[in-house]
Structure formats: C-alpha cells, structure tokens
Amino acid sequence: MNLKELIYFLTKNQAILHYNISTLEQIKAGILAVKETKIPLIFGVSEGERNYLDPALVKDIIDFYKKELPIFLNADHSKSLETAKQAIDLNYDAVLFDGSELDLTENIKMTKELINYRGDRNILIEGEVGKIEGKSEIQKEVEIKKENLTKVEEAVKFVEETKVDLLAVSIGNIHGITEQEPELDFERGREIARAVKIPLVLHGASGLSLEKIKKCVEIGFKIIHFNTEFRKIWKEKLTEELKKETVTPYKILEPVVEEIKKKIVYYQFQFFEK
Ligand SMILES: [Zn+2]
C-alpha cells in the first residue's frame, strides 16, 4: 500500500506517526518499533537532517527495510524548490514544501511549480500555510501570534490553487517543547479541515498532551509529527550511557535505541487504535 492509500484508509480516530531522524540509531529504533507493531511509520528528514545523512543514503536505508515493513520517507520542511525537487528525483514518498515564510501568492506559485514537477509520480506533496513558530529544541517559551495562525480562507485558496495532497497548518502548535503546553485553536482546525477537504498534518506534537493530539486526529489531522521529544530521549539516554566504563559503540548505543523504540511503539498504538 502506498502512503496515499494508507492515509485515505485511516478511520476517524487513526493517524500515522511521523518521526524525525538524523542518526543510524534513530533509524534503527524506528525499524525495530515497526517490526514489533506492524503499524506504519513515516520517517522524516528536514533539510538539515537529510544533508547530514546524505539525502540519497537515507532513502537507500529506508528502501532496504521497506521491502518488508510499512515505512515511508518524507522530505520534511523543504525550504527551497531545489531541495524539494531533489527529494522528488530520489523518489521519496512525500515532500513538504515549506513556503510558510513567503507571502501567500509566492507560496502558491512555488508549491504549484513543485506539483507540476512531481507530475504523475506517486509522491505526496504537502504544503504549509500559516506560521508554525519555534524550533525543534527545548525552549523556555515561544510567542504565538494570533495573526500568524492559518486563516481558513487562505488555506482554501492555497489548496484549490496548488492541489496539494496534504496541508500543514498552524492552530497554535509550535515546533519544540516549552515550559507551558501551547493552547490549540481546535475550532479553527475543524473549520480548515472541513473547508479544504484534504488530510491535515500536525507539526510540533512534542510537548502536547495526548488528549489534545487525539482531538486533532478526530478533526482531520492524519499525520502527527514528533521530533523534539525523541531528540530529548536520545540525548538524555546517551548522556547516561556515556558515563559507563565501556568504549564499545554498540554497547553504548543499544540502550539508546531501545529507549527511543519504546516511545515510538507507545505513540504508534496511541494513534493507530481501531
Ligand atoms: Zn514541522
């Protein structure tokens, strides 16, 4: 089953976990989780993450396991057409063109160009309207400006004109984890979902309560992005393991993989229950 079919087969309470990676042990944790759960997982690589790994190498690694597992690869937050087109040429399963910092007209124009470039290839294109604040780090606080949240009419115009497959929006969700849990504008989310009629993508689920995320799933967010929470587990567990006597990398890294895997399994079951 390809990613598009999978998304359209999801029930009202189901969504797919999107998990960002930039190291081999993060990839391994995701692979082991899916081997255990048999639940689909999307691996995400932002421009920084995929440049670190090499955009072609990470595709080959995911393809290696894809023969037997329901896993997918997304070129997350591609800020330029060049990197987005590169991911299309490498046949990633999905590409997010993030034109959220451009004005709407320019965002539409560039996203459309990418849709044309994709042509009839079986690759999902995600667009982004509205500004998702923050970065995938632990931050004290992030200011959320109401005027930067996605406007329903802008989302509709964007989807109608670009014909994107998926839409990332801002309803108060932020990248990263802050001391206070962000408040989400569910009503706006509901209105957007109803109006655009395509699956929405929830960015910045790290630091959000399960209750809030599940409400988003019900509204129509079908892909749930987690990054910072897993980065935090990676660093904390690694720091702990590095204090041990051994100098053998796999002995140090194995418990890190296990710790991340447990959390992936946990979220996969949370969002994929029937
Ligand atoms: Zn994101």
3-state secondary structure string, 217-234?
HHHCEEEEEECHHHHHHH
Q: What is the CA(203)–ligand 1 centre distance, in A?
A: 4
Q: Is 79 exposed, middle or buried (0-12, 13-18, 19+ CB in 10 A)?
A: middle
C-alpha to C-alpha distance for 150 and 140, rounded to whole angstroms: 24
Q: What is the CA(247)–ligand 1 centre distance, in A?
A: 35
How many structural domains are present in the chain?
A: 1
Q: What is the CA(78)–ligand 1 centre distance, in A?
A: 10
The parent domain of residue 98 ranges over 3-272
Q: What is the CA(224)–ligand 1 centre distance, in A?
A: 10
> Which pLDDT score, from 0 to 100, does residue 144 have?
86
Give the global pTM.
Answer: 0.97
Distance from the Cα of residue 152 to its chain's centroid: 22
Q: What is the CA(166)–ligand 1 centre distance, in A?
A: 13
Instruction: Look up tokens 């089953």; give the residue.
Output: 1
Catalytic residue among 76, 93, 98, 165: 76
DSSP string, 203-220: ---TTS-HHHHHHHHHHT
Could you tell me whether strands 221-226 and 16-20 are parallel, antiparallel, or unpaired per DSSP bridges? parallel
> Which pLDDT score, from 0 to 100, does residue 125 have?
98
C-alpha to C-alpha distance for 83 and 1, rounded to whole angstroms: 26
Report the residue count for the chain: 274
CA dihedral sign of residues 27, 29, 31, 37: negative
Instruction: Look up tokens 């029937």; give the residue.
Output: 274
CATH number of the domain that 165 lies in?
3.20.20.70
Q: What is the CA(18)–ligand 1 centre distance, in A?
A: 10
pLDDT tens series, the chain, 274 aa: 899 999 999 999 999 999 999 999 999 999 999 999 999 999 999 999 999 999 999 999 999 999 999 999 999 999 999 999 999 999 999 999 999 999 999 999 999 999 999 999 999 999 999 999 999 999 999 988 888 999 999 999 999 999 999 999 999 999 999 999 999 999 999 999 999 999 999 999 999 999 999 999 999 999 999 999 999 999 999 999 999 999 999 999 999 999 999 999 999 999 997 5
Could you tell me whether strands 94-97 and 134-138 are parallel, antiparallel, or unpaired per DSSP bridges? unpaired
Dihedral pair phi/psi, residue 65, rounded to 5°:
-90, -20
- Catalytic residue list contains 76: yes
| Six-digit token string for 206 | 């790290």
Q: Is 11 exposed, middle or buried (0-12, 13-18, 19+ CB in 10 A)?
A: exposed
DSSP structure class, residue 67: T
